[in-house]
Amino acid sequence: MGTVKKNTRKLPGVLSYYSKSDYTTQQKARFIYHLCIAAMVGMVFLTFSSIYVQLNSIEYDGIFLPVIFAEISLLIFFGGCIFLLIKGKYGIASHLFMTVAMACVWYVMWMHGGNVITRLDTVVLIVALLNLTPLFITKYKITILLYILVNVVILIVFVQMVKGQINLSDASAVDYIVDTSIAILFSGVVGYNIFRINKQSLEKVEIENQQRKLAENALLQSELFRRSVFDSSITPIIVMDSTSFKYIDINPAAVKIYGFSSISDSLGKTPVDVSAPVQYDGTPSSQKAVSYIEKALEDGSVTFEWLHQRPDGEFWDAEVHLLSFQSNNETLLQFSLIDITERKKIESELRESELRYRLLFENAQIGIYRTTPEGKILQANPAIIKMLGFDSLDELNKRNLETEEAFVKSTRKEFIKRIEKNGFVKDFESEWNKKNNDILIIKENSRAVCDAEGKTLYYDGFVENITERKKIESDLKESELRYRTLFENAQIGIYQSTHEGKFLQANPALIKMLGFDSFEELSKRNSNEENAYVDLSRGKVIELFEKNGFIKDFESKWKRKNNEMIIIKENSRVVRNLEGKILYYEGFVENITERKLAEIALKESEEKYRTLMENMNDIVMMVDNEDKVLYVNERFSEKLGYSYNEIIGEIGYKKLLDPKDQEIIIKANQERTKNVISQYETTFIAKDGRNIDFLISGAPVKNSEGIIIGSIGNMIDITEKKKIEKELEKHRDHLEFLVKERTEELATSNEELLSTNEELHNQRDELEAVLKNLQNTQKQLVQAAKMASLGVLASGVAHEINNPLNFIKGGIFGLEQYFDENLKEHKNEVFPLIEGINIGVERAANIVTSLNHYSRRNDSNVSECDIHTIVDNCLEILRNQIHNRIDVKKTYTQTSHTLYGNEGKLHQAMLNILSNAVQAINDEGTINIKTSISVQKLTILVSDTGCGISDEDIPKIFDPFFTTKEPGQGTGLGLSITHNILEEHNGNIEFESNVGHGSSVKITLPLSKK
Partner 1 sequence: MDEKVTLLYVDDEPINLRLFDLNFKKKFNVLTAESGAEGLEQLKGNPQIVVVISDMKMPGMSGIDFIRLAKKDFPHVRFFILTGFDITEEIADALNERLIHKYFRKPFNLKEIETSIQEFL
We find the least distance from the C-beta atom of residue 640 to partner 1, in angstroms, to be: 28
Q: Which is nearer to partner 1, 303 or 802 (CB)?
A: 802
Name residue 612's amino acid.
L
HSE value, Cβ hemisphere, 13 Å, CA-based, for 664? 17
Task: Give the residues across from 389 on adjacent strands.
Answer: none
Q: For residues 595 and 843, which CB has a smaller minimum distance to partner 1 in the complex? A: 843
Closest CB to partner 1 among residues 865, 947: 865
Nearer to partner 1, 5 or 824 (CB): 824
Nearest distance from C-beta of residue 609 to partner 1, angstroms: 15
Q: Which is nearer to partner 1, 367 or 796 (CB)?
A: 796
In the shown chain, the binding pattern of residues 134 to 163 toward partner 1, with x for contact by CB under 8 A and - for none, equals: ------------------------------
Q: How far is CA 330 from CA 223, 268, 316, 324, 824, in A?
A: 20, 17, 32, 10, 142
CB 640 within 8 A of CB 717: no
- We find the least distance from the C-beta atom of residue 549 to partner 1, in angstroms, to be 38
Give DSSP secondary structure letters for 810-865. HHHHHHHHHHHHH-GGGHHHHHHHHHHHHHHHHHHHHHHHHHHHHT---SS--EEE
Q: Which is nearer to partner 1, 447 or 608 (CB)?
A: 608
For partner 1, give the closer residue by CB, 590 or 872. 872
Q: Please state whether beta strands 708-717 and 691-702 pair in parallel, antiparallel, or not at all (unpaired).
A: antiparallel
Say if strands 456-465 and 439-450 run parallel, antiparallel, or are unpaired: antiparallel
456 versus 802: smaller Cβ distance to partner 1: 802
Instruction: Measure the CA–CA gap between 526 and 499, rounded to whole angstroms.
Output: 11
> Site map for partner 1, 816-845, x if CB under 8 A?
-x-----------------------x---x
**Contact 464/442 with Cβ under 8 angstroms?**
yes
Nearer to partner 1, 177 or 801 (CB): 801
Among residues 397 and 802, whose Cβ is nearest to partner 1?
802
Dihedral sign for Cα atoms in the order 720, 726, 730, 732:
positive
Among 626, 620, 619, residue whose Cα is nearest residue 665: 626
Q: Least distance in Å: CB of 802 to partner 1?
A: 3
Radius of gyration for the alpha carbons in the chain, expressed in angstroms and rounded: 82
Contact residues for 452 (Cβ-Cβ < 8 A; gap 6+): none
User: How many other CB atoms sit within 10 Å of the CB of residue 342?
Assistant: 10
Nearest to residue 458, comparing CAs of 402, 403, 378, 388? Answer: 378
Q: How many CB atoms lie within 10 A of CB 878?
A: 20
Q: Mapping DSSP to helix (H, G, I), strand (E, B) and coil, where does residue 480 land?
A: helix
908 binds partner 1 (CB under 8 A): no
> What is the nearest approach in angstroms of partner 1 to the Cβ of residue 845?
6
In this complex, which beta carbon is closest to partner 1, that of residue 848 or of residue 1005?
848
Between 557 and 655, name the residue whose CB sits nearer to partner 1: 557
The least CB distance from residue 853 to partner 1, in Å, is: 7
Give residues with Cβ within 8 angstroms of 473, minimum separation 6: none
For 682, the 3-state DSSP assignment is strand
**Interface positions, 792-821, toward partner 1 (CB under 8 A):** 795, 798-803, 805-811, 813-814, 817
Among positions 612-641, residues that touch partner 1 (CB under 8 A) are none
In the complex with partner 1, the residue whose CB is nearer, 841 or 957, is 841
Beta carbon nearer to partner 1, 266 or 795: 795
Q: Give the range of 22-30, 336-344, 655-663, 850-858 binding partner 1 by CB under 8 A.
A: 850-858
**To 5 degrees, how large is the angle CA 507–CA 509–CA 512?**
110
Q: Could you give the C-alpha distances from 614 to 34, 495, 719, 788, in angstroms and in order?
A: 168, 48, 22, 16
Q: Which is nearer to partner 1, 334 or 802 (CB)?
A: 802
Residue 807 C-beta: closest distance to partner 1, Å = 5
User: 249 or 800, CB closer to partner 1?
Assistant: 800
How near is the Cβ of 895 to partner 1 at its closest, in Å? 24
Question: Taking the complex as a whole, how short is the minimal distance between the CB of residue 804 and partner 1, in angstroms?
Answer: 9
Q: How many positions of this chain bind partner 1 (CB under 8 A)?
A: 24
Tell me how far, at minimum, the Cβ of 849 lies from partner 1, in Å.
7
Least spacing, CB of residue 905 vs partner 1, in Å: 16
Answer for the pair 587, 570: CB distance below 8 angstroms, yes or no: yes
**Min separation Cβ 926 and partner 1, Å:** 32
Cα 11 to Cα 8, 30, 804, 828: the distances in Å are 9, 7, 153, 155
Each residue 853-892 as x (binds partner 1 by CB under 8 A) or -, in order, gives x--x-x----------------------------------
Q: Distance (Å, rounded) from C-alpha 524 to C-alpha 516?
A: 11
- Residue 852 binds partner 1 (CB under 8 A): yes
Q: Are 507 and 523 in contact (CB under 8 A)?
A: no
Q: What does DSSP say about strands 886-891 and 925-933: parallel, antiparallel, or unpaired?
A: parallel
Binding status of residue 905 toward partner 1 by CB under 8 A: no
**SS3 of residue 401 by DSSP:** coil
CB of 1003 to partner 1, least distance (A): 25
Helix, strand and coil content of the chain, in percent to the nearest 5, comes to 55, 20, 25
Q: In sequence order, what E strands does 772-815 have?
A: none
* C-alpha distance across the termini of the chain, in Å: 203
Minimum separation from the CB atom of position 805 to partner 1 (A): 4
Cβ atoms of 647 and 636 within 8 Å: the answer is yes
Q: Which range binds partner 1 by CB under 8 A, 147-155, 326-334, 499-507, 848-856?
A: 848-856
Q: Which of 50, 673, 849, 1004 binds partner 1 (CB under 8 A)?
A: 849
Q: How far is the CB of 982 from partner 1 (least distance, A)?
A: 24
Tell me the one-letter amino acid at 282: G
Cα(895)–Cα(167) distance, integer angstroms = 232
C-alpha angle 897-903-904 in degrees, rounded to nearest 5? 150
**Of 276 and 801, CB closest to partner 1:** 801
The distance of closest approach from Cβ of residue 841 to partner 1 in the complex, given in angstroms and rounded to an integer, is: 6
Task: Kindly state the smallest distance separating residue 704's Cβ from partner 1, in Å.
Answer: 26
Per DSSP, the three-state class of 642 is coil
CA 1006/CA 936 separation, integer angstroms: 6
Q: Which is nearer to partner 1, 498 or 802 (CB)?
A: 802
Pairing of strands 424-433, 315-327: unpaired
Min CB(648)–partner 1 separation in Å: 25
Beta strand extents in 689-766 (DSSP E only): 691-702, 708-717
Return the range that interacts with partner 1 (CB under 8 A); candidates 281-289, 536-544, 709-717, 791-799: 791-799
Backbone angles phi, psi at 863, to 5 degrees: -135, 175
The footprint of partner 1 (CB under 8 A) covers 795, 798-803, 805-811, 813-814, 817, 841, 845, 849, 852-853, 856, 858
